[in-house]
Structure 1
Amino acid sequence: MTADIQRAYIAAAVSRGLLPAEAHRMAQVISLDAPNDPAKPIQFWQLYSVLGPDRIVAIVRDFYQRVFADEPWFVAPFARVGPLDHHVMTQSQMWIDVMGGGPAYHGAEFRLNFHHTHNAMELMTAEGAARWTRLMVETLDACEPHMTGDPRIRPALNTFLGHFMDKYAGDFRFDAPGAFGVSNPPLKRRINFMTMTTEAIEALDEEELRQALGERGIDTTAYPTKQDLVDKALML
């Protein structure tokens, strides 16, 4: 599932301004290995490279222990499908697959969509989603020790969960219950004027020009118009 979900997320993130238009060609974005640079966010398909299978299974197990201890109306659809260990196994396989650990989830998106349409349909509502989200947030808070001390992991997990919750909210026509917490910040491309043609520099918008010049220590308040900024960039 990794490649399909990666493409879907990148397309959605580009449209929302969270990733640059060329994200699908950026090595730090499409790689399955998390960047070593702590200033660069971890994409959720890179999580397996830092968490590994045992930590992922531990987080998923914590979640389903909370699910099976919840109110009967919420537990019933899960219990009808199988016991706690069954859900831990299948959900862990799905997480590992999407997080870059290889083809672990047999049936891929077809199986995932079939499950939510046939087995979990009664929970694909605003009420069901809100309860699921609450339990998952409790899980992530409790599972901080499994997150290796890297502050980028929780935002990456929140981004992963938010992406799927938004998908289900659209598919099943309910209002998404809100964020799981802080997600990955927008990733801006690093602009190097020295390697760009005049046409490419002129195609940048004013905000991109100001940001790139500012990163080079240039006070852009001295350049009030876009053309002024372009001219300055071309002088570098």
Structure 2
Amino acid sequence: MTDEKKDKPSFPAGLGIMDKIWEWQWIIRFIYIVLFADLALLAYTGQGILTWPVQVSNWTEHLGFFCVALAALGLIATTLMPAAANIVRLLLNEIIYSSIFPDILRPQSDYQRHPGTVPSSEVLDLALEENNQFLLSYYEKHDIAWRNKFSERFKIGDLLFGILFFMTLDYHPYWFSHAQHSLACDLFNLGGDEGFVIFYIVLLIVFSALINIWFGKWDWGHIYYPPLYRKKENARRKQREMDEQWHGQDK
């Protein structure tokens, strides 16, 4: 067995990286990092990724810059950007769900339950009441999956917010440096006079995706458990029948 494992060919690590390219979450992260790198170079040298003369540079001379940039990226991605995104999300929430906001433009959340599903908290209550280990394990498995999905959605929202912020800065490098060229400028200017139109269309697409992530349809933690669902439906039906009989007697 040991010899077979040793003789078994292993795939190069580069193929694993290439495989990640086809996952859209990694594409978003890659765009985030590239835009940050371009902004960092613009602030440090006045030249972006496309114009920085890497071939004549001594990498050791810029080692301090790379260390600071990497630390800044970690701080921004894990702390500053999520905090800023949360503030903006709360402000947008107040605006979108205010009375002055048009209903036709307001994202519609999915509050409706599907047949056979009940709130997960009710499944937990039933499991504890009946001391049902199977039901408790079923709830815990669902709860972990739901929390992971919930967390991943907010992480994607933070990345999209960062891309939106970085794109805006990168397209206007003269706001924070003396540079006239940047990655975003050079790429969108390939479209000629319509380059700025393409930029704002892309910006609008990213913003729409962000709004959908933050305020679109959500899974509110309902769990598929037909026995409890049928029990509750029967109770509702009996209650409706009693109400109808009561109103009938009043007449």
Higher normalized contact order (CA 8 Å, seq sep 6+, divided by chain length) = 2
Query: TM-score, normalising length from structure 1?
Result: 0.26
Q: Which has the higher helix share?
A: 2
Return the index of the structure with the highest Cα Rg. 2
